Structure 1
Amino acid sequence: MSGGALALVQPLLRCPVAGHREPRGLDLLDGGRRLRCADGHSFDIARQGHVNLMGGVAAGANADTAAMVAARERVHDAGLLDLVGGALVEACADLGEAARLVETGGGTGQHLARVVAAGSQRVGLSTDVSTAAARRAARVHPRVASVVADSWRPWPLLDGRVDAVLVVFAPRNAAEAQRVLRPGGTLVVVTPEPDHLDGLRGRAGLMTVQADKAERLDEQLGGRFEPVSRHAERRRVELSDEAAADLALMGPNGHHTDRESLLRRRPGGPVTLSVRVARYRRSGA
């Protein structure tokens, strides 16, 4: 993350420390090397480009490891998730050239970078509880900044400053998304369909997708967001053992198995990539 990227998103940022006086905004100081609030809480910009805004709270066991992040990068580089990136660009097409976007649980930031690149003045902020992921996201695009933050805790963002929140295969904090979005702002949620990774699941022994995910999503967002559109994206691919292992290891399954064990199972072969893209509008004034 360059100082320029952080300067672009700085007006959105909020100090994460509890028991704070107002205002809670963060100023960029020391030539882009440090953030500080009016109460004197200070956060150094890491040499790799990200900044930790967890407010002193340690990341949980769900944080992606460096090996999981590397697998995700290879999956993106191979174009296996282009159907997701393309769908996000389309869902955000009417946001305008200067939209301010946040992706929570953004991982390596490639999806957000693609949406930001679709507008000449768009800026993006990727948040993730994984430091390894945040390091990668800090380098993904000159108009994308990266912070370490937990999707389940209060987000380090000021109220009503964001035009769109993206959530791709990540925890959905409806209350925080509503708080940080401007009135009428957009929420785009990508979830796996029940047949996502069919073929690979059996060969690699992966966890299954709950069949009622879409219904539970609507219930979770009800009252805070109004549904706008929903559609599925599906693609069938033939993968080598190495590529199939990357696809398995980039997600939650990466916490429960290792590459060597997966490769012994010969996971390559036909795989279904199947996701649902749902767009919502923030309710209320």
Structure 2
Amino acid sequence: MLVDTLPFLACPHCGDSLELSDTSLRCPNRHTFDIARQGYVSLLRAPTTFTGDTAAMIEARAAFLRAGHYAPIIRELLTVEPGPGCITDVGAGIGHYLAAVLDASPERIGIAIDAAKPALKKAARAHPRLGAVLCDAWQPLPIRTGSTGLVLNVFAPRNPSELHRILHPSGKLVVVAPTERHLRELVSAVDMLTVAADKGDQVTSRLAPYFAQERRVLCEFSMALPHRDAVALVGMGPTAFHTSVDAIGERVAALPEPVVVTASVTVTTYLPASTVETDR
């Protein structure tokens, strides 16, 4: 629940602690944040035009993940031992991966961060020890410095300096990123966006000097998808921003059923670089 995350949250305006006050969160400096009736809270520091995935994309993601096709990715996430503190998922979407990690860590509290309100409405109900927070990953995160033992970042944007700031010195960052082989059977058939061949190296380069790579695992597996799940898979990703649902459905319908699709991602664990100083 959101109230369980309060020891780890910080006011986005002044950085002070937050307390529950009726249906709001409030800091000692009287900055107040209303809790939505669906259970999440907006802790945006400043107005943003970035609103994340659309409601249709969120529904597609929920349908696809509910079918269990990405279970091998979850199994890789569960091999990482958290450091002291909470577990924060930056770009958590509906909270699917965070909920699975919390199931395996019964003593932990989880914070799901995302910019999409439709996603957080679902994330707020994804697990009883999960709190859902609306914020922009490119703004300072409303999380106390050094309070997170494990940061998850699954197919999501990442702000290296802020991820480093919130991470406990003994904590870990886990990034799941697609390889150039990810969903290759659908890329040409449905006109999906392609992935650079050096995607993993790009991620590591951009995280430096805040993080050092500890371990990288290739997680690659085949999925036999009915048409509805293939449509959901395409519809939950960035391709949906420039291709209509009807067009996706027509292209998938022309493929054999089930559609055999390769999932190919790297699961990379990073340690915080101790030489980087934070001032928050």
TM-score by length of 2: 0.93
Deviation of the 1:221 alpha carbon: 1.7
What corresponds to 2:65 in structure 1?
76
CA distance in 2, matches of 1:266, 1:186: 39
Residue in 2 aligned with 1:54? 44
CA distance in 1, matches of 2:239, 2:54: 12
Q: Hey, what does 1:274 align to over in structure 2?
A: 264
Aligned to 1:16: 12
Aligned-pair CA distance for 1:270: 1.4
Shift of residue 258 of structure 1?
2.0
The CA distance in 1 between the partners of 2:88 and 2:210, in whole Å, is 18
User: Counterpart of 1:34 in structure 2: which amino acid?
Assistant: S
Alignment check: 8 A CA contact 2:82 2:171 kept? no
Whole-Å separation in 2 of the counterparts to 1:14 and 1:126 = 14
CA distance in 2, matches of 1:173, 1:217: 11
Give SS of 1:113's match: helix
Number of the residue aligned with 1:25: 17
Q: CA deviation at 1:112?
A: 0.4
2:6 & 2:155 partners in 1: Cα distance? 26
222, 245, 251: which one pairs with 2:208?
222
CA distance in structure 1 between the aligned counterparts of 2:85 and 2:274, rounded to whole angstroms: 20
1:235 to 221, 236, 242: 221
CA deviation map 1:96-134 (0-9, x unaligned): 7x7510000100001000001101211100000000101
Alignment partner, residue 278 of structure 2:
none
The answer (yes or no) to whether the contact 1:184–1:283 under 8 Å persists in 2 is: no
Query: 1:59 deviation in Å?
Result: 4.1
Residue of structure 2 in register with 1:40 after alignment: 30
Counterpart in 2 of 1:95? 82
Contact 2:225/2:261 (8 A) holds in 1: yes
Q: AA paired with 2:126?
A: V
Cα distance in structure 2, aligned partners of 1:180 and 1:55: 16
Is 2:146 aligned against 1:172?
Answer: no
2:79 is paired with a residue whose SS is helix
Equivalent runs, 1:173-188 vs 2, <5 Å: 173-188=159-174
Q: State whether structure 2 residue 236 is matched by structure 1 residue 250.
A: yes
Per-residue CA deviation, residues 56-98 of structure 1 (Å, 9 max, x unaligned), is 513415x11111000000111111111111111112xx327x7
* Distance in structure 1 (CA, Å) of the matches to 2:55 and 2:96: 16
Q: In 2, are the aligned partners of 1:200 and 1:270 still within 8 Å (CA)? A: no
- Residue 149 of structure 1 is aligned with which of 135, 157, 161? 135
- Kindly provide the amino acid, as one letter, of the partner of residue 125 in structure 2: R
CA contact (8 A) 1:164 1:187 kept: yes
Q: Structure 2 CA distance, aligned partners of 1:150 and 1:52? A: 10
Alignment of 1:205-220 (within 5 A): 205-220=191-206
What percentage of residue pairs aligned between the two structures are identical? 37
Q: 2:54 aligns with which of 65, 71, 76?
A: 65
